[in-house]
Amino acid sequence: MAEPGVTQRLAAAGAAFTDPPAEGTVSTEPGALDAAGTRSPLSGLLGPAGGPVTFEERPFVGKLTLRGDPSNADFMAAAGKVLGTDIPTDPCRFVEHDGFRVHWIGFDNWLIHVPEGAEGPLKTKLEAALEGIHSAIVDVSDYYTVIRVQGAKARRLLQKGCPIDLHPRTFGPGQCAGTVFHHAAIFLAQTDADTDGGASYDIQIRWSFARYLWDYFVDGAREWGG
């Protein structure tokens, strides 16, 4: 049998935007819908199972961006009180507290991940606490989705398209960074280091770029089967 060409190979991996995903890569489940009936961008797609790297969408994670002046003690205290934890001032770090995750994006800019549905109430609370303090809170939940990548080859998969050195000597759990994966802008957070030398990452990607990243991951993971 002839070796399949690049086009067939990519199509089999579900890599072309216009092609329907190949058989066996789509769930027969109805897929993730939010309370309003919106389908998540990667709804129904199945990543590799049982191999050294797995990935799955975490649809509808609540996402807020918070902006304010870190040298303003009132701002830091008010935001910290609502979140129950000091917001991080060290570059490229995140903190976790009570189901909330607060990521440093820039020195006056934070990204907050919360469970689905918690973003609205949190936004209201933050706005009330920061009343009169120079700041901004924006709900960006539907602007992005999140893909969780984990396993022994998770780092190897990400290094196929991400220019940041993710080796444990320079990058570890609790660190996050805005960067790129090939042509797509991503926000990457390392959530865990597995005992088998692997790791777990959450990759935040713009809604309309999610399928691009997903298909790159599918193609990138093929060498390890699964």
Binding site for other proteins (CB under 8 A): 91-92, 105-107, 109, 163-164, 177-180, 185
Q: Residue 163: which residues within 8 A CB-CB, separation 6 or more?
A: 179, 180
CB of 178 to other proteins, least distance (A): 5
Q: Residue 92: which residues within 8 A CB-CB, separation 6 or more?
A: 104, 175, 176, 177
DSSP helix, strand, coil percent of the chain (3-state; round to 5): 25, 30, 45
The residue among 13 and 112 lying less far from other proteins, judged by its C-beta, is 112
Task: Say if residues 191 and 126 touch (Cβ distance below 8 Å).
Answer: no
The residue among 54 and 103 lying less far from other proteins, judged by its C-beta, is 103
Q: Which amino acid is at 223?
A: E
Q: Which amino acid is at 180?
A: V
The residue among 85 and 179 lying less far from other proteins, judged by its C-beta, is 179
The residue among 84 and 91 lying less far from other proteins, judged by its C-beta, is 91
CB of 48 to other proteins, least distance (A): 27
CB of 95 to other proteins, least distance (A): 17
CB of 107 to other proteins, least distance (A): 6
| Residue 43 to residue 35: CA distance in whole angstroms | 14
Task: Output the six-digit token pair for 17.
Answer: 């935007």
Rg (CA), the chain: 19
The residue among 91 and 172 lying less far from other proteins, judged by its C-beta, is 91
Q: Using alpha carbons, list the distances in angstroms from residue 192 to 113, 189, 200, 204.
A: 16, 9, 5, 16
The residue among 138 and 185 lying less far from other proteins, judged by its C-beta, is 185
The residue among 40 and 175 lying less far from other proteins, judged by its C-beta, is 175
CB of 64 to other proteins, least distance (A): 17
CB of 162 to other proteins, least distance (A): 10
| Residue 101 to residue 97: CA distance in whole angstroms | 6
CB of 213 to other proteins, least distance (A): 14
Phi, psi angles (nearest 5°) of residue 18: -80, -25
